[in-house]
């Protein structure tokens, strides 16, 4: 992975990987917001790869009416888009079948977080990209920081804007290169005000919402940290340091508390990525929360957290029993886990994970100590 080295150096490394690979290689340009130049950089790289003799084609590139970006596409072969009718309108999506049939060495797949039109081959564009990679096609793509699953909620808090389109962290973690396309806040705002990001009619609204300077500063910092984290994770996976302590497995224990469960899952996902560890999300169903007794909303929230954990790369496990602490520690031991992640009680000292009568910290500490398992307590959010 890379951050801010020269374009030619990036191209050469990706070129070397292409020639050595059987499964396709994935490169992602990431940025703090729309307009920083991700697609532009991707197209510049495409031209360099073509100059090196690589068979390359555009699978889908969205220029958003930006003239400089559109000009770069003119010299690059493009695979015709698939036309679909939805709600009485003809719309276009990337034609995965056509790309698989054409099978270029490299396909450009812009906007990785995009949700496809109902009736498309896959629901999400990142799923399209995965198909291409499995077929041996190398993919270069783009994504904004707000679309990364594990930090999506943090971005929502910063910007006040709900982001529905998300890319699982595992996609970025599996990428062979991630390049941060950085731009100063003043440069980005100047591009916005001169109509190089959105149509000029949309600029006043953008400046009042997502593109406020303090918000962009936080997003820029977040983008830099995220790429750094991905680099550290790749180093841990591919270049293990001598004597580096490794977390063989992480177990995250959740309850029916939806908000605390989401935070535990998000934190654990980042830990598992950093240490390249196996990761399990465990829920112990007690007799008081049996299928016949559990509240319907709690059941729905629990299922949503299961789905979220699976999307982030966890193996989700449901256990049964009224001795919650014992069940979780036994499971952690069976998986040779060295870290147990649980929620820190918001009120009562013994009200861990919502199991006031069962999950006592003293008992849990004793059990984990006996098995050599560390505990990480995650503080709840203020509104949990």
pTM over 0.85? The answer is no
The full set of domains in the chain, from first to last, is 7-238 (3.40.50.300), 249-378 (3.40.50.620)
Question: SS3 sequence, 296-359?
Answer: HHHHHHHHHHHHHHHHCCCEEEEEECCCHHHHHHHHHHHCCCCEEEEECCCCCCCCHHHCCCCC
Q: Does residue 61 sit in helix, strand or coil? A: coil
* Residue 329: half-sphere exposure toward Cβ, Cα within 13 Å: 20
Q: Which of 18-32, 305-319, 354-368 has the lowest mean pLDDT?
A: 354-368
> 270-327: per-residue pLDDT in tens?
888 777 788 999 999 888 877 777 788 888 888 989 988 888 889 999 998 888 888 9
What is the percent of the chain with per-residue pLDDT over 70, rounded to a whole number? 85
Report, as an integer, the average pLDDT of 227-234.
75
Rounded CA gap, 209 and 146, in Å? Answer: 14
Most confidently predicted of 83-92, 108-117, 293-302? 108-117
Model pLDDT, residue 237: 64
Among 118-132, 205-219, 261-275, the least confident range: 261-275
Identify the band that residue 338 occupies on the pLDDT scale cut at 50, 70 and 90: confident
Give residue-wise pLDDT tens across range 212-224.
Answer: 999 999 999 989 8
């Amino acid at each position: 992975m890379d951050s801010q080295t020269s374009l030619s150096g990036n191209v050469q490394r990706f070129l070397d990987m292409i020639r050595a690979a059987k499964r396709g290689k994935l490169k992602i340009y990431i940025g703090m917001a729309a307009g920083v130049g991700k697609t532009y950089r991707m197209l510049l790289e495409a031209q360099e790869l073509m100059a090196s003799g690589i068979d390359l084609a555009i699978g889908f590139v969205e220029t958003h009416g930006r003239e400089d970006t559109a000009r770069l596409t003119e010299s690059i072969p493009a695979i015709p888009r698939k036309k679909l009718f939805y709600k009485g309108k003809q719309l276009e999506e990337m034609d995965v079948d056509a790309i698989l049939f054409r099978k270029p060495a490299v396909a450009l797949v812009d906007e990785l977080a995009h949700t496809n039109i109902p009736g498309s081959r896959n629901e999400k564009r990142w799923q399209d990209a995965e198909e291409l990679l499995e077929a041996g096609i190398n993919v270069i793509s783009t994504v904004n920081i707000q679309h990364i699953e594990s930090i999506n909620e943090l971005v929502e808090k910063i910007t006040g804007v709900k982001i529905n389109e998300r890319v699982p962290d595992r996609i970025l973690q599996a990428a062979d290169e991630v390049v941060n396309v950085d731009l100063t806040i003043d440069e980005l705002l100047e591009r916005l005000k001169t109509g190089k990001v959105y149509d000029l009619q949309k600029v006043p609204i953008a400046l009042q919402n997502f593109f406020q300077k303090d918000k962009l500063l936080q997003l820029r910092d977040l983008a830099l940290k995220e790429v750094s984290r991905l680099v550290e994770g790749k180093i841990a996976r591919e270049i293990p340091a001598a004597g580096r302590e490794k977390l063989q497995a992480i177990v995250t224990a959740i309850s029916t508390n939806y908000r605390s469960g989401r935070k535990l899952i998000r934190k654990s996902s980042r830990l598992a990525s950093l240490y390249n560890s196996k990761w399990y999300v465990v829920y112990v169903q007690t007799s008081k929360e049996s299928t016949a007794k559990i509240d319907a909303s709690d059941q729905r929230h629990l299922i949503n957290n299961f789905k979220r954990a699976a999307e982030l790369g966890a193996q989700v496990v449901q256990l049964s029993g009224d001795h919650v602490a014992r069940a979780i520690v036994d499971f952690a031991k069976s998986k040779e886990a060295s870290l147990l992640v649980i929620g820190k009680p918001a009120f009562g000292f013994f009200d861990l994970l919502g199991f006031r009568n069962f999950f006592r910290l003293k008992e849990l500490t004793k059990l984990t100590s006996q098995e050599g398992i560390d505990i990480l307590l995650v503080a709840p959010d203020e509104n949990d």
